[in-house]
Amino acid sequence: MSKFWKLVAALLALSMLAAACGSDDDTGSGDDGSDALAAAQEAQAEAEAAADAAQAEADAAQAEADAAQSALDDASGEAQEALPFAGEIVRITGPERSPEEWGALQEALDIFAAESGMTIIYTGSADWEGEINVQLAAGNPPDISMFPQPGKLADFARDGLVVSLPDASLDVISPNWGAAPLSFGNVDGAQYGVPVKNTLKSLVWYKPAVFDAGGYAIPETWEELLALTDTMIADGVTPWCVGIESGQATGWTFTDWTEDLMLRFNGGEAYDQWVAGELAFSDPSVVAIFDEILGLWNTPGAVFAGGGSIASSHFASDPAEGLAAEDCAMVRQASFFSGFLPEGVSDEVAVFYFPSIGDGSRPVLGSGTLAAAFQDRPAVWAVMEYLGSGEYANARQVAQQNLKGGEGQLSGFNSSNLNLDRSLWEPLEASFIEILQSAEVFRFDGSDLMPADVGAGSFWTEATAMVNGEKTAAEAAAAIDASWPAS
């Protein structure tokens, strides 16, 4: 019993004893005094018992409070352990900037941010190529950036501007990817880039209803494709929608056509030599490809350009609207093109393989983005590991499809990540993923692999000059060769 309760009991007993004594004086009865004393002693015993019970209850309540506080402390510790990067901020930049792409990318990042306690901020820009250079020159690079050109990433790596992946992070990321996607982020034996998304480029988009109405068969060879073009023109159908406008990157659509035809006409070995600068642009085999494309695009009646001219027409939105409106019958564009189709058109279009030359080969041209880090911090590597995961690919797909209108819509996002859930994609886009994951002959976009001065510079500008009729194929090829950095 506590001292307080014992004191209360004693005082109570004394008061009762005093009362008993007073009664004895008043009545003169000794028996009455004895009875009162016994009653006081009994009351004291009862008071002490009540005090002991109250103290027991207080001790039990205190024990419960201590247990609750301990549980709260444990929960707080567990929460702190589950949020290892609380207060950290990771900034990411990249070229993806449409509302659907930007929004889906940020939503996927927000999931990881909530799990880790950090804040992740993505900023997209149409002029990413120029802006990243300005940020570096100002000494204010982002923590991570998404590189659409492995060649530019390689330049940065060799200049010591980006940081190679720690072995621990590479061990986490590697099981999610095949050798080819990872190889595009490897520079001189060190891994700098983490694949984030992949694009299948060797595709032609069309409306089956238009082909059925005209009785047109899917071409299996390049010669059959040219013949189909002529037939459509004769029937009063414009075969192609083409645009090459892309802000600072205007002209890259022409480079895609060049790369696909280089693979088909000259093969993978020559393609690799060309990308490495060992086969000059002025080589007759390359100039012939330029002339092949220009000859097709300049054929009267062959091309619809929604922006007024090929060079002023957006590379995707104008052709997407033209295909939907049946202003043209075909668009040669990458798998992301599905993301530009007007709402409600997805189930009206299909694709066929951009035909080869009929030798039985089916080379695949692709591209994508690679994340690379400018800062060596645990939080940065945690984000890099997440970007290279199947969880990121799945979250990005769900978000982008929802932003495009929900289930049944084509998202425009593709990945060759081996551990993604292919069932999250619509059948058409799931077929793109299957091709990307299983292609025997796969080459990355050549201009993206070349030194940035060429692949993201002169190749684009000289292509635009050719399309505008300002230069011949031979003149443009010579100018591109002159821009190639000295080894």
pLDDT digits (tens, 9 = 90+) for 377-425: 999 999 999 999 999 999 999 999 999 989 888 999 999 999 999 999 9
pLDDT band at 347 (very low <50, low <70, confident <90, very high): confident
Residue type, 371: A
Q: Does position 29 have pLDDT exceeding 80, yes or no?
A: no
Greater model confidence, 270 or 24:
270
Please report the domains of the chain, with CATH numbers, ordered by start residue. Answer: 83-198+367-439 (3.40.190.10), 203-362+451-483 (3.40.190.10)
pLDDT in tens, 11-24: 444 444 444 444 44
- In this prediction, residue 64 carries a pLDDT of 74
Regarding predicted confidence, which is higher, 42 or 177?
Answer: 177
State the amino acid at position 366 in one-letter form: G
- Residue 39, number of CB atoms within 10 A of its CB: 14
Q: Are 241 and 325 in contact (CB under 8 A)?
A: no
**Amino acid present at 352:** F
Q: What is the pLDDT of residue 15?
A: 47
Quick one: how many helices (H) and strands (E) in the chain? 19, 13
Separation between Cα atoms, residue 29 and residue 326, nearest integer Å:
123
Whether 63 shows a pLDDT value over 90: the answer reads no
Q: What is the pLDDT of residue 33?
A: 54
**With bands split at pLDDT 50, 70 and 90, how would you rate the model's confidence at 25?**
very low
What pLDDT, on a 0 to 100 scale, did the predictor assign at position 253?
Answer: 97
Confidence at residue 295, expressed as pLDDT on a 0 to 100 scale: 98
| Residue 439 banded pLDDT, cuts 50, 70, 90 | confident
Q: In what order do the strands lie in the sheet with 240-241?
A: 303-304, 240-241, 330-332, 203-206, 350-353
As a whole number, mean pLDDT of residues 136-141 equals 96
Q: Say what the pLDDT of residue 47 is.
A: 60
> What confidence score (pLDDT) does residue 91 get?
98
Can you tell me the mean pLDDT for 335-357? 90
Residue 75 has pLDDT above 60, yes or no: no
Task: Taking residues 18-38, report their average pLDDT.
Answer: 49
Nearest-angstrom CA–CA distance, 387 and 176: 11
Residue 4 predicted with pLDDT over 50 = no
Position with higher pLDDT, 78 vs 111: 111
Distance, CA of 219 to CA of 221 (rounded, Å): 6
Strand partners, 166: none
pLDDT-derived band at 51, boundaries 50, 70, 90: low
- Whether the pLDDT of residue 110 is over 50: the answer is yes
Please count the CA atoms within 13 angstroms of the CA of 274 that sit on its side-chain side.
32
Under a CB-based contact definition with an 8 Å cutoff, are residues 184 and 449 in contact?
A: yes
pLDDT tops 70 at residue 145: yes
Mean pLDDT of 189-194: 98
Q: Which of the two residues, 62 and 295, has the higher pLDDT score?
A: 295
**Token pair for 51:** 């005090």
Nearest to 83 by CA among 117, 114, 113: 117
Q: What's the rounded Cα separation, in Å, for the pair 383 and 371?
A: 10
Find the mean pLDDT for residues 119-148: 96
Per-residue pLDDT band at 5 (split at 50, 70, 90): very low
Given a cut of 50, whether residue 94 has pLDDT beyond it is: yes
Residue 207 has pLDDT above 50, yes or no: yes
The percentage of the chain sitting over the pLDDT mark of 90, rounded to a whole number, equals 73
Q: Tokens 């093969």 label which residue?
A: 267
pLDDT at residue 21 in the model: 44
What is d(CA 205, CA 349) in angstroms, rounded to the nearest whole number?
Answer: 7
- Give the C-alpha separation, 186 to 194, whole Å: 9
- Find all residues with CB under 8 Å of 212, minimum gap 6, and list them: none
For residues 38, 41, 46, 52, the Cα torsion angle rounded to the nearest 10 degrees is -160
pLDDT exceeds cutoff 60 at 76 = no
In the predicted model, what is the mean pLDDT of the chain?
Answer: 89
Identify the band that residue 37 occupies on the pLDDT scale cut at 50, 70 and 90.
Answer: low
The pLDDT of 212-219, averaged and rounded, is 98
Give Cα 143 distance to the centre of its chain.
Answer: 15
Task: Give the span between the Cα atoms of 412 and 200, in whole angstroms.
Answer: 11
The mean pLDDT value for 64-83 works out to 63
